[in-house]
């Protein structure tokens, strides 16, 4: 099935065209800085994925998507010659609230519920919904699915998803833990079960999605029972530019002292903090690791803090699982950085998570799912490659196949 994956953000639009049968990527497009005068769109087709850059100054997200579809239909290098060859559309939706426990087909019953979720992710859901509406008009007969970052976490019990605030904030504003990266955690857990050659229902897994955003999930018998991200993706681990969990009183303290607005505070917590905020260098872990190795003190502190927060979260979830069979590392840092894996697990051997340094360091293993703990480690350590767009395409394929 040829699936168009649409991942709309506040000022970005990432799209891929995927042939799900052979898991083949046919097109990748990245639109950045939508609404800005430097807005541009890069489009790349298989097999070479050579990028062509288009100026999209002044275009809205719907217009940018429409332009991409026009390129898809007309470019001689495009793998399709007509938009009717797109058999389904998979939309990544950041917040599914309490309405969606699973990916869903978008129709007249589900779309109004999607609209109700907009309040929960005001930067991400509305542009995604606008793309859906545009595509409904343009590709009238093409089924569309919504794949949620939050759905996998709907199994989290109330004691873990409620915040100890006056209960009316949950009743009136639906403030609770929703989590994120659900597609990735679900996939990582299943891949780990495959590696361990055991049914996922028999396993206790701690999945660590460590990318520029990061979250850790306790997956007990195949179900998410707790996760570090909360009402928004700001909670939990220290991330590339996000603070993660801090004493909430710091927020009002800084706002009063510096007399800054809500928007400025929001920016500080989401864009200026984390690895970037502490290192003062970059949000890119590779840059900060290199600087730390060269002796930069702030970079070293950033790495130490990052490692510490990951260790804490793994320990916290170990305590609440009924069993722990494996810790699963995925996403940019989790998959690629043997150095960080070594630092993280150096502190966790006493819990029975014992890294095999040789297996952890095998050159050329990147991109391969594998076990990197010693053979008789009581708790295994797995490394799994995540691919969000491919997951969305395959979920869309499965949903459409089972419905039509
Ligand atoms: P996202 O999809 O959220 O943008 P990714 O999963 O691509 O994030 O992860 C990006 C992060 O992974 C960046 O901090 C990047 O520096 C880090 N990363 C990628 N490769 C490596 C590596 N070899 N060593 C350390 N960090 C890496």
Cβ of 211 less than 6 Å from ligand 1: yes
Helix and strand numbers (H, E) in the chain are 15, 14
Which segments within 157-268 are labelled E, that is strand? 204-210, 214-220, 223-227
Query: Which residues, other chains included, contact 77 with Cβ-Cβ below 8 Å and sequence gap of 6+?
Result: 45
pLDDT, residue 380, reads 98
pLDDT, residue 33, reads 83
pLDDT, residue 325, reads 98
Cα 149 to chain center, whole Å?
A: 7
pLDDT, residue 100, reads 94
* CB-CB contact of 181 with 229 (8 Å): yes
User: Cα of 66 to ligand 1 centre, how many Å?
Assistant: 30
* CB-CB contact of 9 with 130 (8 Å): no
Cβ of 337 less than 6 Å from ligand 1: yes
Pick the catalytic residue from 21, 107, 149, 375.
149
- pLDDT per residue, tens digit, the chain (404 aa), is 999 999 998 788 999 999 999 889 999 999 988 888 888 999 999 999 999 999 988 899 999 999 999 999 999 999 999 999 999 999 999 999 999 989 999 999 999 999 999 988 888 899 999 999 999 999 999 999 999 999 999 999 999 999 999 999 999 999 999 999 999 999 999 999 999 999 999 999 999 999 989 999 999 999 999 999 999 999 999 999 999 999 999 999 999 999 999 999 999 999 999 999 999 999 999 999 999 999 999 999 999 999 999 999 999 999 999 999 999 999 999 999 999 999 999 999 999 999 999 999 987 777 789 999 999 999 999 999 988 899 999 999 999 999 88
C-alpha pair distances (Å), 87 with each of 103, 185, 191, 213, 343: 17, 27, 27, 31, 45
pLDDT, residue 367, reads 78
* CB-CB contact of 248 with 242 (8 Å): no
Cβ of 212 less than 6 Å from ligand 1: yes
User: Cα of 139 to ligand 1 centre, how many Å?
Assistant: 35
User: Cα of 227 to ligand 1 centre, how many Å?
Assistant: 20
In whole angstroms, give the CA distance from residue 398 to residue 402.
6
């Amino acid at each position: 099935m040829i699936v168009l994956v649409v991942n709309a953000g506040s000022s970005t639009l990432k799209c891929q065209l995927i042939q799900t049968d052979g898991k083949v990527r046919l097109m990748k497009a990245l639109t950045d800085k939508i609404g800005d005068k430097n807005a541009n769109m890069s489009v790349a087709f298989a097999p070479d994925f050579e990028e062509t850059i288009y100026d999209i100054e002044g275009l809205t997200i719907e217009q940018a998507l429409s332009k991409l579809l026009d390129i898809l239909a007309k470019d001689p290098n495009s793998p399709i010659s007509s938009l009717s060859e797109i058999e389904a559309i998979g939309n990544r939706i950041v917040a599914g609230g309490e309405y969606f426990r699973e990916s869903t087909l978008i129709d007249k019953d589900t779309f109004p519920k999607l609209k109700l979720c907009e309040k929960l992710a005001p930067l991400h859901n509305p542009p995604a919904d606008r793309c859906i509406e545009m595509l409904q008009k343009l590709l009238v007969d093409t089924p569309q699915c919504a794949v949620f970052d939050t759905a996998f976490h709907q199994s989290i019990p109330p004691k873990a998803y409620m915040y100890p605030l006056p209960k009316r904030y949950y009743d009136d504003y639906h403030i609770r833990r929703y989590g994120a990266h659900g597609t990735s955690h679900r996939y990582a857990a299943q891949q780990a079960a495959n590696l361990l050659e055991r049914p996922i229902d028999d396993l206790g897994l701690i999945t660590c999605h460590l990318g520029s955003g990061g979250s850790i999930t306790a997956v007990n018998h195949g179900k998410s029972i707790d996760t570090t991200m909360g009402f928004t993706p700001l909670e939990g681990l220290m991330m590339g530019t996000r603070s993660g969990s801090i004493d909430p009183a710091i927020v009002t303290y800084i706002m009063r002292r510096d007399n800054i607005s809500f928007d400025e505070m929001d920016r500080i917590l989401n864009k200026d903090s984390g690895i970037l905020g502490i290192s003062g260098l970059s949000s890119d872990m590779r840059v900060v690791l290199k600087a730390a190795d060269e002796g930069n003190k702030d970079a070293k502190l950033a790495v130490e803090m990052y490692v510490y927060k990951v260790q804490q979260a793994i320990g916290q979830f170990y305590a609440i699982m009924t069993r722990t069979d494996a810790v699963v590392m995925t996403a940019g840092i989790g998959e690629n950085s043997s150095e960080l894996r070594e630092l993280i697990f150096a502190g966790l051997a006493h819990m029975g998570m014992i890294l095999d340094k040789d297996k952890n360091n095998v050159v050329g293993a990147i991109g391969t799912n594998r076990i990197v703990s010693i053979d008789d480690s009581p708790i295994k350590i797995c490394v799994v490659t995540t691919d969000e767009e491919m997951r969305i395409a395959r979920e869309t394929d499965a949903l459409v196949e089972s419905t039509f």
